[in-house]
């Protein structure tokens, strides 16, 4: 992230995401999953497990972790890092909740265009 102020996109209401559940944002570079934890915090991570590409949004949300539905790797939602013996990281994205609305950093959406142009 750069030092300049983040531009935020209003995505949805907090209540659109079930507690201890997840919903997706589809972007050109793949899906970003928004996770809502038991204490109503929201985290945004790529919806792709670094192990074999499992859709993390379909896993079980417990505490501040997500367990991949395919082979049960567990990731810390704060850092995106795999827990325990497994090694790997999922990219995390800036997200915030304000007045019951979920906002993600605009760069999450803007990113693919640049990524593709560069390629």
Nearest to 45 by CA among 84, 11, 94, 85: 94
Q: Which residues of 42-81 are buried (b: 16+ CB within 10 A; e: fewer)?
A: bbbbbbbbbeeebbbbebebeebbbbbeeeebbbbbeebe
Place of tokens 């919806």: 47
* The entry of another protein, ligand FES, none that residue 101 binds, CB within 5 to 8 Å by partner kind: none
Residue 28 interacts with, from ligand FES, another protein, none (CB under 5-8 Å by kind): another protein
Q: Which is nearer to another protein, 28 or 91 (CB)?
A: 28
- Looking at beta carbons only, is 87 or 116 nearer to another protein? 116
Q: Select the binding partner of residue 25 from ligand FES, another protein, none (C-beta < 5 to 8 A, by kind).
A: another protein
- Member of 51, 64, 101, 111 binding ligand FES (CB under 6 A): 51
């Amino acid at each position: 992230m750069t030092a300049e102020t983040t531009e935020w996109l209003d995505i949805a209401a907090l209540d659109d995401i079930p507690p201890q559940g997840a919903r997706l944002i589809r972007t050109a570079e793949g899906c970003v999953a928004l996770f809502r934890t038991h204490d109503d915090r929201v985290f945004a991570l790529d919806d792709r497990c670094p192990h074999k590409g499992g859709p993390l949004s379909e896993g079980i949300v417990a505490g501040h972790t997500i367990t991949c539905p395919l082979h049960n790797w567990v990731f810390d939602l704060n850092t995106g890092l795999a827990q325990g013996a497994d090694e790997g990281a999922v990219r995390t994205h800036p997200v915030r909740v304000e007045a019951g609305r979920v906002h993600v950093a605009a760069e999450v959406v803007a990113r693919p265009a640049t990524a593709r142009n560069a390629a």
